[in-house]
Amino acid sequence: MQAPPALLSTEDLYLFNTGQLLRAYQTFGAHLMTFDGRHGVRFVVWAPQAREVSVVGNFNGWGHGSLGFRLDPVGSTGVWCCFVPGLDEGERYKYAIVNADGHLTLKSDPHAVYSELRPHTASIVTSLDRYEWQDRQWMEHREQAPPYDRPMLIYEVHLASWRMDAPEQFRTYEQLSFELVAYVAAMGYTHIELLPLTEHPLDRSWGYQATGYYSATSRYGPPEGLQMLVDRCHQAGIGVLLDWVPGHFCKDDHGLRLFDGTPLYEDSDSRRAEKLLWGTLAFDFGKPEVCSFLLSNALFWLDKYHIDGLRVDAVASMIDLHFDKADDSKTFNRYGGSEHIEALSFLRKLNETVFQHYPNTLMMAEDSSSYPQVTAPTYLGGLGFNYKWNMGWMNDMLRYMETDPSRRPSHHSLITFSLLYAFSENYVLPLSHDEVVHGKRSLLNKMPGSYEEKFANLRLFYGYWITHPGKKLLFMGGEFGQFDEWKDYDGLDWQVLQYPLHARMNEYVKDLNAAYSRDRSLWEQDHEQAGFEWIDVNNAEQCMLIFQRTGKRSASPTVSVCNFSRQSHDIYRIGVTVPGEYRLTFNSDDERYGGNGMFLPARSSAESIPMHGKPYSIVVPVPSLSLQMWKSDTDSLSNLSL
């Protein structure tokens, strides 16, 4: 089969070879089209060092007796192309690539948008343009609504194990578009974050070791099902984030590794290419074509699936040449340092590209490093993300909460240190899947004390988390206090909801989410110092923390009272800013949430008695291991719903 020049745009190929083809998926891969009056499929693939490239499949007996339909090289671009008439949607295919040494390998299409269900690995000719979207209102509103001064409660989900009737009996995208969306909406979350959905060969990798970067995994059905899931989320007022893994890919033979017989997508220097921690290969960000591949992939998920944001995985491993490297495997940049200059350049270009096309997209860095200005604009020298996971807060808080209350006074700084840097970046406070797997125990089982105290500690922890500056993320199962750690090969332990404390925890999280969403002071100034003020930060002996959150239009702040000790206080005086009546807006010790039900008045009158540097004070009881929120009656705006 010939590849006439009219099949491809020379401009597209130039842009691809220079790292600027931002929608390479429209050029590369398998595309249904009519050419020269005949209907068929155009195949385009990048394999610059290949001796021959053919497309094989059921339509030609997988090349038996020949190499199938031969692709032609397009000039010196490294690109191969052919048009095969008569083929239609649903055809399975691979590329038969003969390398310079004459060795033949069968490769899946790097730009395929649909793949066979594992363990099969063929690509499938598919159109993504049939689905009729019903989310216009959501998309138009998103264009006008920057995320910074909005509530953000993210429910992190692994689709395979959210609900599973039996091993490997997964819910389909379509089923989840009803069950999952209804549950998330009822719980009051604003967003769902999905663990990677790019095609991957091993279930237990959770999608973080991919082979098909453009291919939504077929484990849960065809691509239209995922489009339906996102669409129904949007119709329910829920945003959708996708875990995205541009740092590394798995080594399976049908994937990107040695794609044309040479290190193509990976670095030719094995010291840089090998990710020994995960047994994967790093992308070579110095190749313009690799940058075109990845930049296009980011826009692909936003274009074709209406994804609202990308959580970029393992940024620390991308930007540090020495990350998880033994001394004999370390390499250095051209200045003698360990910063990965090409990866940093790629990340800046990634964020510039996404925000150019979708200004209010959520671009979140999962970054455990201390690299500065991750969420600063690129024109100010930053990496250009608009959010970063606060891994420091997460580690400190889990260490503190795992400590028995009797020993917490000597660890008080763990819960106060985060406010020294809370406004240096735009942070998300993650309680993610990584913290409840591989022997780390569930959040509930991390808590010290008796069975009842574990629940009290977790309710308190969630209350502090929800009132602390930063957007929020909770992994599935945490909302009802799953006791066992996450089992990725099985479903969540929904059966524990038959036990009162778990059912009450689920109700508690639902009500806490609602209290957060309707109180502007808890999110309007998440990233500004003006939105937070300590009232009492130094009471380590009693394990007490009191602070206030302020919104842009609120007449008074929300006062958060946290008691991390087992000691209750019948009378506790708290400094407040304004006079008048204060009302109790939330109490984690309420009996309906499984608390002890210590009597707390619904209101408390501020007195002209200075306390904690404030001109007024209220007196309230404080239960052990509890969180309570108080608000002045003069506040007329903060309880307005969005």
Active site residues: 313, 366
Contact 427, 387 (CB under 8 A): yes
Please spell the DSSP secondary structure of 513-546, one letter per residue: HHHHHH-GGGTTTTTSGGGEEEEE---TTTTEEE
Pairing of strands 38-46, 92-98: unpaired
Nearest CA-CA partner of 247 in 193, 309, 159, 310? 310
Compute the distance between CA of residue 574 and CA of residue 579 in angstroms, rounded to an integer: 13
Please spell the DSSP secondary structure of 256-296, one letter per residue: STTTTSS-SSB-SSHHHHEETTTTEEEB-TTSHHHHHHHHH
Contact 560, 585 (CB under 8 A): no
The conformation of residue 337, written as its DSSP 8-state character, comes to: S
Handedness of CA 304, 84, 125, 52 (dihedral sign): negative
Tokens of 625: 């291991």
Residue with tokens 């937070």: 532
Please spell the DSSP secondary structure of 578-638, one letter per residue: S-SEEEEEEETT-GGGT-------SEEE-BS--BTTBSEEEEEEE-SSEEEEEEETT--ST
C-alpha distances out from residue 398 to 304, 430, 437, 447, 461, Å: 38, 11, 14, 9, 9
Pairing of strands 248-249, 212-216: unpaired
C-alpha distances out from residue 591 to 178, 424, 465, 567, 623, Å: 32, 39, 21, 18, 12
